[in-house]
Chains A and B, each alone.
Chain A
Amino acid sequence: NAGVTQTPKFRVLKTGQSMTLLCAQDMNHEYMYWYRQDPGMGLRLIHYSVGEGTTAKGEVPDGYNVSRLKKQNFLLGLESAAPSQTSVYFCASSYGGTGINSNQPQHFGDGTRLSIL
């Protein structure tokens, strides 16, 4: 029962390098999210998706891009990494819907710890 799986778990990059973080969920969830976690700031939403082929900006989208080509996968890309992007990145997913089906709890992966030198 995998739930939400993030790869890789750790990565060190040099400034200016690019990379992609992969998130996969096996719960058939419509909605997926990428957050970053920094000390004392909780989790901040980077981008999210309400369905296959759709993406939207969250609170802190600058410097990141995302794609949702398949329902079960949500990719987060850093085109030119900067030290300010050193953080722990979490992916989450949830059921979609409206009304009584809205605001279903989000399920989180275990995170990717990213350091940019």
Chain B
Amino acid sequence: AQSVTQPDIHITVSEGASLELRCNYSYGATPYLFWYVQSPGQGLQLLLKYFSGDTLVQGIKGFEAEFKRSQSSFNLRKPSVHWSDAAEYFCAVGARAGNMLTFGGGTRLMVKP
């Protein structure tokens, strides 16, 4: 069975600092990987996805993520965080059948002024 681990429950960074959110997955085949962001009281919005090809993928809002098969990781990065990035971030791995997603527990990002 597939699983996703986000080791950091909470992260606080200063505005303008760089950010890296960790994601480790377990999946028996080539994974389909996603990062979603959830603002308070809202649903989940897709930041970026990895299906195949280039292991560094670019997303919306200046985010990027790198797929590392050898480490079973798909870490999310942003070079300079803005106060509006404060939210909860979810990593997910997708199954081929039924397009089902398995989510990690989420990382809540707080941004200090």
Which residues of A are in contact with B by a Cβ distance under 8 Å? 4, 31, 33, 40-45, 48, 50, 56, 58-59, 90, 92, 94, 96, 98, 102-111
Q: With A40-B9, A103-B51 as given contacts, are A108 and B99 in contact (CB-CB < 8 Å)? A: no
Min CB distance B44 to A, Å, is 4
The residues of B with any CB-CB pair to A shorter than 8 Å are 4, 6, 9, 32, 34, 36, 41-46, 49, 51, 90, 94, 96, 98-106
Q: By CB atoms of chain B within 10 A, which of A48, A58, A102, A111 has the most?
A: A102
The number of residue pairs between A and B whose CB atoms lie closer than 8 Å in the complex comes to 64
Cβ–Cβ contact B34 & A105, under 8 A: yes
Q: A4-B43, A90-B43, A105-B49 are in contact. List 12 more A-B contacts (CB 8 A).
A: A31-B98, A31-B99, A40-B105, A42-B90, A43-B103, A92-B44, A103-B94, A103-B96, A106-B101, A110-B42, A110-B43, A111-B43
Q: What are 16 contact pairs spanning A and B, CB under 8 A?
A: A4-B43, A33-B100, A42-B90, A42-B105, A43-B90, A44-B103, A56-B98, A90-B44, A92-B44, A103-B32, A103-B96, A106-B101, A109-B43, A110-B41, A110-B43, A111-B41
Q: B80 CB to closest chain A CB, in angstroms? A: 25
Q: Nearest 4 A-B pairs (CB), nearest first?
A: A108-B43, A42-B103, A103-B32, A108-B44
A102 to B103 alpha-carbon distance, docked (Å): 18
**Residues B41 and A45 in contact, CB atoms below 8 Å apart:** no
Taking the closest CB of chain A, its distance from the CB of B1, in whole angstroms, is 9
Interface centre among A50, A98, A103, A106 (most CB of B within 10 A): A103
**Most interface-central of B6, B34, B43 (chain A CB within 10 A):** B43
User: How long is the Cα–Cα vector from A94 to B99 in the complex, in angstroms?
Assistant: 8
The answer to whether A96 touches B99 (Cβ under 8 A) is: yes
- Determine the residue in chain B with the shortest Cβ distance to A42: B103
Most buried by B among A4, A94, A106: A106
A56 to chain B, nearest CB (A): 7
Give every chain B residue within 8 A of A48 (Cβ-Cβ): 98, 100
Residues of A within 8 A of B98 (CB): 31, 48, 50, 56
